[in-house]
Structure 1
Amino acid sequence: MITKIKGVTMTEKIAVLGAGSWGSMLAYILHQNGNDVHLYARNPEQVKEFNTQHTNSHYLKDFTFPESMKATDSLKDALDGVDDVLFIVPSQATRSVAKVVNQILAKKRIKPYIIHGSKGLEKGTFDRISTVLEEEINPENRKTVSVISGPSQAEGVAKHDPTLITVASEDMRSAEHFQKLFMNDYFRVYTNNDIIGVEFGGALKNIIALGAGTLYGLEYGDNAKAALITRGVAEISRLGVSFGANPLTFTGLSGMGDVIVTATSKDSRNWRAGYQLGKGKKLDEIVSDMGMVIEGIATSEAAYDLAKTRGVEMPITNAIHSVLNNEETVKDAITKLMTREGRSEIG
Structure 2
Amino acid sequence: MSDYRRIAVLGGGAWGTALALVAARAGREVCLWARDAGTVEAIRSTRENPAYLPGIPLDPPLDATADLATAVVGADVVLLVTPAQTTRAMTSALAPHLRPGTPVVLCAKGIERDTGLLLTDVLAQEVPAAVPAVLSGPSFAADVARGLPTAVTVAAKDGAVADALSLALASPKFRPYAATDITGVQVGGALKNVLAIACGAVAGKAWGASALAALTARGFAELTRLGLALGGARETLTGLSGLGDLVLTCGSAQSRNFAFGQALGEGRTVAEMTGGGGKLAEGAASAAIAVELGRRHGIDLPICEAVAEVLAGRLSLDDALEALMTRPLKREH
Structure 1 counterpart of 2:165 = 178
Structure 1 counterpart of 2:14 = 21
The CA distance in 2 between the partners of 1:317 and 1:200, in whole Å, is 13
Structure 1 residue 333, shift from structure 2 partner: 0.5
Q: Are the counterparts in 2 of residues 205 and 258 from structure 1 also a CA contact under 8 Å?
A: yes
The CA distance in 2 between the partners of 1:294 and 1:70, in whole Å, is 28
Structure 1 counterpart of 2:127 = 137
Structure 1 counterpart of 2:226 = 239
SS in 1 for 2:164: helix
The equivalent position to 1:200 in structure 2, one of 179, 187, 194, is: 187
SS in 2 for 1:264: coil
Structure 1 residue 265, shift from structure 2 partner: 1.6
Q: Deviations over 1:143-181 (max 9, x none)?
A: x21101100011111232211111111110010011101
What amino acid is aligned across from residue 104 of structure 1 in structure 2?
Answer: H
Q: Where do residues 2-81 of structure 1 align in structure 2 (5 Å cutoff)?
A: 10=3, 12-66=5-59, 68-81=61-74
Structure 1 residue 194, shift from structure 2 partner: 1.1
Q: Are the counterparts in 1 of residues 22 and 145 from structure 2 also a CA contact under 8 Å?
A: no
The CA distance in 2 between the partners of 1:33 and 1:11, in whole Å, is 11
SS in 2 for 1:135: helix
Q: Which runs of 5+ in 2 are unaligned?
A: none
The CA distance in 1 between the partners of 2:260 and 2:145, in whole Å, is 22
Structure 1 residue 11, shift from structure 2 partner: 5.8
Determine if the alignment matches structure 1 residue 157 to structure 2 residue 144.
yes
What amino acid is aligned across from residue 114 of structure 2 in structure 1?
Answer: G
The CA distance in 1 between the partners of 2:171 and 2:257, in whole Å, is 28
The CA distance in 2 between the partners of 1:46 and 1:213, in whole Å, is 30
The CA distance in 2 between the partners of 1:289 and 1:97, in whole Å, is 21
Q: Deviations over 1:197-219 (max 9, x none)?
A: 00000111001111111111111
SS in 2 for 1:85: strand
The CA distance in 1 between the partners of 2:4 and 2:310, in whole Å, is 48
The equivalent position to 2:255 in structure 1, one of 253, 268, 274, is: 268
What amino acid is aligned across from residue 76 of structure 1 in structure 2?
Answer: A
Q: Are the counterparts in 2 of residues 11 and 36 from structure 1 also a CA contact under 8 Å?
A: no
Structure 1 residue 290, shift from structure 2 partner: 5.5
Q: Where do residues 219-258 of structure 1 align in structure 2 (5 Å cutoff)?
A: 219-258=206-245
The equivalent position to 2:113 in structure 1, one of 102, 108, 123, is: 123
CA RMSD for the aligned pairs? 1.7
Structure 1 residue 67, shift from structure 2 partner: 6.9
Q: TM-score, normalised by structure 2?
A: 0.96
Question: How many matched pairs?
Answer: 333
The CA distance in 2 between the partners of 1:212 and 1:272, in whole Å, is 9
Q: Deviations over 1:41-85 (max 9, x none)?
A: 111111111111222222223212127222100001001211111
Q: 1:297 to 1:47 in 2, by over 3 A?
A: same
Q: Deviations over 1:288-323 (max 9, x none)?
A: 365332101010011011112222100000111111
Moved more, 178-187 or 65-74: 65-74
Determine if the alignment matches structure 1 residue 147 to structure 2 residue 134.
yes
Structure 1 residue 247, shift from structure 2 partner: 1.8
Q: Which runs of 5+ in 1 are unaligned?
A: 1-7
The CA distance in 1 between the partners of 2:208 and 2:55, in whole Å, is 31
Q: Are the counterparts in 2 of residues 119 and 203 from structure 1 also a CA contact under 8 Å?
A: yes
Q: Are the counterparts in 2 of residues 146 and 195 from structure 1 also a CA contact under 8 Å?
A: yes
Structure 2 counterpart of 1:301 = 288
Q: Deviations over 1:263-304 (max 9, x none)?
A: 112111111111110011011211236533210101001101
Percent of aligned pairs with the same residue?
36
Structure 1 residue 335, shift from structure 2 partner: 1.1
Structure 1 residue 87, shift from structure 2 partner: 0.6
Structure 2 counterpart of 1:101 = 94
Q: Are the counterparts in 2 of residues 155 and 267 from structure 1 also a CA contact under 8 Å?
A: no
What amino acid is aligned across from residue 86 of structure 2 in structure 1?
Answer: A
What amino acid is aligned across from residue 77 of structure 1 in structure 2?
Answer: T
The CA distance in 1 between the partners of 2:303 and 2:226, in whole Å, is 13
